[in-house]
Amino acid sequence: MISVQKDDFNVGFEYQNLRSVSQNEGAIVFFVGLVRDMNADGSVQAMEIEHYPGMTENVLSNIALQAKERWDLQQVKIIHRFGRLEAAEQIVFVATSSVHREAAFAACEFIMDFLKTKAPFWKKELNDQGDVWVEAKESDELKLTRW
């Protein structure tokens, strides 16, 4: 259900996995986050992602559990990568499945909002001018109030 890994993931493979253990789902929603090649200050060549082994997995499991308690979900899958990632590479995968699409869409957004503000990952952007640690955004914290 949760995977924190260095390796890339294959969305097609993950989708097929979700379908192979299908339990009367009517909807599968998934989100993929990528490394942007631009930020507000210019170009980004790559990103270094650090995490807190153990705590990161626990926090993600807890977020998935909260989503399952709140919506009628069949399956939840979260993959987040760490280490050096080049621009346009995949960072994060969140999938939810449910009988109805409303629950799957809402739970996927819920998981992403909490992942961004609670899971212990730290990003550093790498470019020609040097390395810059990404600052947490207040707007991400504000998004939690909708839940």
Partner 1 sequence: MSTILLFGRLREEVGQSEFVFSEFTQGTVADLRSALASSEIGSSHTFISGQALVAVNQVIVDDSHLIQSSDEIAIFPPVTGG
Q: Which residues bind partner 1 (CB under 8 A)?
A: 33, 49-52, 54-55, 58, 80, 91-92, 112, 115-124, 133-136
Query: Among residues 68 and 123, whose Cβ is nearest to partner 1?
Result: 123
**Strands of 46-51's sheet in order across:** 83-86, 46-51, 121-127, 130-133
Q: How far is the CB of 44 from partner 1 (least distance, A)?
A: 13
Q: What are phi and psi of 59, to 5 degrees?
A: -65, -45
Query: Among residues 15 and 48, whose Cβ is nearest to partner 1?
Result: 48
Q: How far is the CB of 96 from partner 1 (least distance, A)?
A: 16
Q: How far is the CB of 49 from partner 1 (least distance, A)?
A: 7
Which residues are registered as beta bridge partners of 31?
A: 94
Report the Cα 17 to chain-centroid distance in Å.
Answer: 18
* SS3 category, 10: coil
